[in-house]
Amino acid sequence: MSCFLQHPFAFMNTQFPLENPMRKHRALLAAMLLPALAQADEATIKHVHDAPQVRGSIIANLLEQHDNPFVLYPYENNYLLYTYTSDINKEAISSYNWAQNARKDEVKFQLSLAFPLWRGILGDNSVLAASYTQRSWWQLSNKKESSPFRETNYEPQIFLGWATDYSFAGWTLRDVEVGVNHQSNGRSDPTSRSWNRVYTRLMAQNGNFLAEIKPWFRISESASTDDNPGYYKIHGLLPGESGLCDG
């Protein structure tokens, strides 16, 4: 993600009527100040250009004001991939009448968007926001079974985020986020899979390198209603990501 910095500027009107002596003095003063203002302007531009850009910051992006109040912002990665597995889990889709004809190649895609609900809720650098992420596995080449979707996961969440610039040992903490997340495959028993959790997300930057951790805690459910008792074994407790920004 790239950030675009805008440098404010103003125009001076130095065309004054000659008959007003005060305006003559103002014109002369403006002419004398123009070189100094130009130097200051160049210094400001240099400072902005030399400053490291905040790429990959979800919170900084959500804090950007736009003319359209209904703008949706990217949250997690949005992608479209062709995938292949040597061992598809047919037991998980055993309730489908096409389970035995499931193909090993699929199209996997993810759509993830966020929307700011309240900018400045806890300071100018804070935002209350909501996001929605959908991840699907599509049997596109399975024409025999009308190209069904094998699995779709739905993940709405609400969170508080802060854009920061705390620096330590060459790293700058860019995003701090805390929220509540729900994830479900949208099915009923016996193939229903869902869980709720609270989480914290921290993203730091070192030059063009980004690192992120997102520890979470699952909100407990009773044994009779818990349809995902082993999710920790699959997803862990402390996921993380890293990456490079180009440009």
Among 184, 188, 224, 235, the active-site one is: 184
227 annotated to a ligand binding site? yes
Provide the token pair at 181: 């997340």
- Catalytic residue flag (residue 184): yes
94 annotated to a ligand binding site? no
- Catalytic residue flag (residue 182): yes
Provide the token pair at 43: 């210094």
Among 49, 94, 147, 182, the active-site one is: 182
Instruction: Please give the Cα distance from 53 to 6 (Å, whole number).
Output: 12
146 annotated to a ligand binding site? yes
CB burial class (10 A; 0-12, 13-18, 19+) of residue 128?
A: middle
187 annotated to a ligand binding site? yes
Instruction: Please give the Cα distance from 216 to 239 (Å, whole number).
Output: 9
Structural contact between residues 179 and 199, judged by C-beta atoms closer than 8 angstroms: yes
Strands 194-206 and 216-218: antiparallel
Mind telling me the catalytic residues? 182, 184
Binding residues for Ca(2+): 146, 187, 192, 227
